[in-house]
Amino acid sequence: MGNRTVHLEEQAQYYRAALLLGLHSGAEVVEWAVAVLADENAVPHTISEIITANPDDVTGLRYLLLELCAERLPLQVQRKILRTIHRDFKSGRRPCGDTITVLSQFRRFEKILPELGREILTFEMKYSLVDHGTGSEGSLEQELAAWFDAHDQQ
């Protein structure tokens, strides 16, 4: 399998997971497919299908992306998803509770490393024990930020 094909598969895996987790919109996936078509001479027919798909049909887009890739996410794609979730958390676009919800969905709906799944589950349990009305979420936010930073270094 050529390097270009591997890269396309990883991008499809990333966007497929990102759609599920609400990290990217269908319109962004269509834009990606347009860029792929413009950059490459020989592209799979599925890219044309994605370009003409309804960007609001996330399920349909995920189905089309699956034609370009395997369902199991390789480690580098899992890390890219974590970096995207971290970016949204760090920027304030997604607060701590929402970030943990996205991480929980990532753990439950994608095939990820068991160790990563256990780490995420630990955050889910800690978040469920936080007294959300008292502002005690701050230490969990700091712990989550440190965890993301450690994963960014990998």
pLDDT 10s digits, 88-98: 999 999 999 99
> Is the pLDDT score of 2 beyond 70?
no
Maximal CA-CA distance, the chain: 57
The confidence score (pLDDT) of residue 1 equals 43
Name the helix (H) or strand (E) containing 85.
Answer: helix 75-91
Contacts of 54 (CB under 8 A, 6+ apart): 26, 60
pLDDT higher than threshold 80 for residue 135: no
Identify the pLDDT of residue 42. 76
Q: Is the pLDDT confidence value at 132 over 80?
A: no
Cβ–Cβ < 8 Å for 43, 124: no
Average predicted confidence (pLDDT) for the chain: 91
pLDDT of residue 140: 92
Instruction: Indicate the DSSP class of residue 23.
Output: S
Q: Residue 40: which residues within 8 A CB-CB, separation 6 or more? A: 4
Domain boundaries, the chain: 3-66, 75-152
Residue 4 confidence (pLDDT) above 80: no
| pLDDT average, residue stretch 41-61 | 93
Query: Taking a C-beta distance cutoff of 8 angstroms, is the pair 67, 46 a contact?
Result: yes
- Fill in the amino acid letter for 55: P
Q: What percent of the chain has pLDDT over 90?
A: 79
The H or E element that residue 112 is part of is none
Residue 123, CA atoms < 13 Å, CB-side half-sphere: 28
DSSP state, residue 142: H
Task: Report pLDDT for 65.
Answer: 97
| Mean pLDDT of the 149-153 span | 89
- For residue 22, how many other CB atoms are within 10 A of its CB? 14
